[in-house]
Structure 1
Amino acid sequence: MTIKIAMATLGAGLLLAGCASAPWKPTRASIETQPTACADFQVSIYFERDQAEVTREARSVLNSAGAMTRGCKIDKARVVGLADAVGAADVNMDLSRRRALSVTKALTRAGFGQVEFDVAAAGDAGATTGAGASAPLRRRADIFFEVSKP
């Protein structure tokens, strides 16, 4: 048992020593972020049950999306509102529409005002598993950004 503890301590010490004795100092160029790739991407905004209000956390996600598109041309943003399978289908469709519109308004306020939006609602379609269980992570809106180099 003592040998195992000694070996583990020696291994940990070697790992830490290796990290502390890097042969070079990082340069500013090596730690600067690379320019945006201007590639299509997707983000998701999550909601509380039966809610369509964009939260502070969701606004942070939208601001991060703005940073990802900096220096790029946004060709289009597709916003799809989704709902879980709890409740009536027509109510869920309305909720998913409100979520999509709420996200679109938040995108406009976050600096995406000149972007062409394609807004859709899926309601609760596809919100249950094959076994009939509701998928609560469907309480969201997905945003698909089509991005290109300017």
Structure 2
Amino acid sequence: MARIVGLVGAMATTVGVAACASAPDRRAAIETPPPSCREVTIPVYFEANDADITPEGRRVLAAETQAVRGCRIEGVRVVGLADAVGDPAANLELSKRRAASVAEAIKAAGLPDAEFEVAAAGQAGSVAPDGQLRPVRRRADVTLRLSPP
């Protein structure tokens, strides 16, 4: 009796596996849309007084560089920024280090060779015309100039 049950179980498994093999692949119908090959600006934020890219900043860069893989990269502009708190010369140096850190991370991500422009704004522009400080300037802005392949 155990032998009959085992035989029936083996036959049911074989039929089940065969049915799976003949089922249509629904994933084949899902298409990944082509990348939008236009200019995109990506802000990468830093901790106060720091030029090391945070784990979140690395995730943002990885996702964005992956999203533009199908595009032709015409150029990359990285501008480091800093708050208006502290010495202007120190803020300019900090923004230079932030821009360099992001540029290195982008190159390490394996994007095709592109013309890189790396600049630092320091605290320039961190105070609005009405005298108010503009918050959250601890960042580098990455602009990717893209075109279709």
Higher alpha-carbon Rg: 2
Percentage of pairs with the same residue: 48
Q: Which residue of 2 aligns with 1:104?
A: 103
1:142: how far off? 0.2
Q: C-alpha deviations, 1:37-69, integer Å up to 9, x for none? A: 211111000011100001111111111111221
Query: 1:83, 1:140 within 8 Å by CA — same for their partners in 2?
Result: yes
1:129 aligned to 2:128? yes
Q: Normalising by structure 2, report the TM-score.
A: 0.76
Q: Normalising by structure 1, report the TM-score.
A: 0.76
Query: 2:88, 2:122 within 8 Å by CA — same for their partners in 1?
Result: yes
Give me the whole-angstrom Cα distance separating, in 1, the residues matched to 2:28 and 2:39.
26
Q: Structure 1 residues 140 and 109, CA, compared in 2 at 3 Å: closer, same or farther?
A: same
Counterpart AA for 2:34: P
Counterpart AA for 1:118: E
Give me the whole-angstrom Cα distance separating, in 2, the residues matched to 1:127 and 1:30.
49
Larger CA deviation: 27-36 vs 136-145: 27-36
SS in structure 2 at match of 1:65:
helix
Where do 5+ consecutive residues of structure 1 fail to align?
A: 1-26
Larger CA deviation: 31-40 vs 52-61: 31-40
**Matched residue pairs, number?**
124
Give me the whole-angstrom Cα distance separating, in 2, the residues matched to 1:105 and 1:143.
12
Give me the whole-angstrom Cα distance separating, in 1, the residues matched to 2:28 and 2:145.
29
Give me the whole-angstrom Cα distance separating, in 2, the residues matched to 1:122 and 1:30.
47
Larger CA deviation: 140-149 vs 112-121: 112-121
Give me the whole-angstrom Cα distance separating, in 2, the residues matched to 1:70 and 1:43.
15
Return structure 1 stretches of 4+ with deviation > 6 angstroms: none
Q: C-alpha deviations, 1:67-123, integer Å up to 9, x for none? A: 221111101000000000000110100000000000011111111262221000000
Q: Say what the alpha-carbon RMSD is for the aligned residues.
A: 1.7
Give me the whole-angstrom Cα distance separating, in 1, the residues matched to 2:74 and 2:37.
11
Give me the whole-angstrom Cα distance separating, in 1, the residues matched to 2:127 and 2:106.
29
Give me the whole-angstrom Cα distance separating, in 1, the residues matched to 2:112 and 2:50.
24
Q: Which residue of 2 aligns with 1:74?
A: 73
